[in-house]
Amino acid sequence: MPIIDAIRLYTTVSRWEFLPAVSIGILIGIFIGAESIQNIVSNGFIFILIEGIIVFILLFNVGFMVNCWADWKVDELYKTKLYQAVKGIGRKKLGILVIIHIIGAILLAFHISLIINRFEISILVWIGTFLGVFYSVEPFRFKRRGILHSLIALPIFFIPGVYSYFLVSNQPLFSSYTFLFLILATGVTVGHYALILISQAEDLPADKKMNLYTPAVKWGLKKTLFISFTSNFIGSIIITIALILLFLIINVWLLLLLPLVIIGRYFSMKEVYSLHKFSLNNSEESLLLEAIRKKMPKYPMWHAYGLTGITVSGLIIQILKSLEWIDPILII
């Protein structure tokens, strides 16, 4: 197989179109967690950081490759591009590729844990790998177990940010600063899992046919859209509160960033709300599916909108910390 075709098939089953949006979680953890830019680039730590990013990319690929491997028959109905990519690689070869990725990620994570003496790194990699694989694979296959479907939000949103935070942070596990970051990561997880619910709802007919008990199958599209909007709203509130507290313990002038955060959250919720509003007057499944599928091309942007303000806030926090412009008015 020509190398260009192999790369195309690999990036297809790894769903690299989602990598930029998901990678933002890594940046947020680095920006908020690192003591300073100087600490990152000094004493060769930059190489540890690069190694950590490689671990993240390997496991990002694993999650989507396993899903394509497990759901290739489901994808034949509506996601033919993924189905054809699995056939092009070969299902057995794809499975071997997944195993190689997992082994490589676990070994690299253990090496990082030894070097920087933070075994939270390895623990998070083990948890993320378990959830990412068994989201799609038996005997657990969380994606077909109703509310347990929500566990996928951890390896996609919560773990990457927390993983990168511990990768660069000198803060103790039980410090107030770490606690506030964990609250922020929780808000991101709740708010953006809401968007996954809509993406998953697109597969409702195929999931029903394959007896996959996903949230959309359990709740129906109308209730799924309501829960999606509600979760996005709650997540946005948690994010805003966590950032306000972080701003106050670093520099009060950071509060000027709040409008950017709120605007980003608004645009993240806008399309979800429009679908929810449409469902109030249209209960027919076929109409709701059509409305959802029309909006799916812009789906990655929903995540990007909501994360932009958080990322910029994290970057400014890092700049102030690096310049030692720390002037807290809140001590916790």
Distance CA 73, CA 83 (A): 7
Distance CA 62, CA 103 (A): 11
Distance CA 48, CA 46 (A): 5
Tell me if residue 331 falls in helix, strand or coil: coil
Three-state helix/strand/coil letters over 51-110: HHHHHHHHHHHHHHHHHHHHCHHHHHHHCHHHHHHHHHHCHHHHHHHHHHHHHHHHHHHH
CA nearest to 108, candidates 126, 132, 127: 126
- Give the tens place of pLDDT for each residue, 26-78: 999 999 999 998 888 877 788 999 999 999 999 999 989 998 888 777 776 66
- Give the tens place of pLDDT for each residue, 138-157: 887 787 776 777 888 898 88
- DSSP 8-state symbol, 212: -
Whether the per-residue pLDDT at 259 is higher than 70: the answer is yes
- Give the tens place of pLDDT for each residue, 161-215: 999 999 999 899 889 999 999 999 999 999 999 998 998 888 788 777 777 778 8
CA–chain centroid gap for 288, Å, is 25
pLDDT averaged over every residue in the chain: 89
The residue type at 246: L
Greater model confidence, 16 or 239 = 239
Predicted local confidence at residue 331, as pLDDT: 74
Structure tokens that stand for 23 in this block? 């990678």
Highest mean pLDDT among 57-61, 223-227, 233-237, 281-285: 233-237
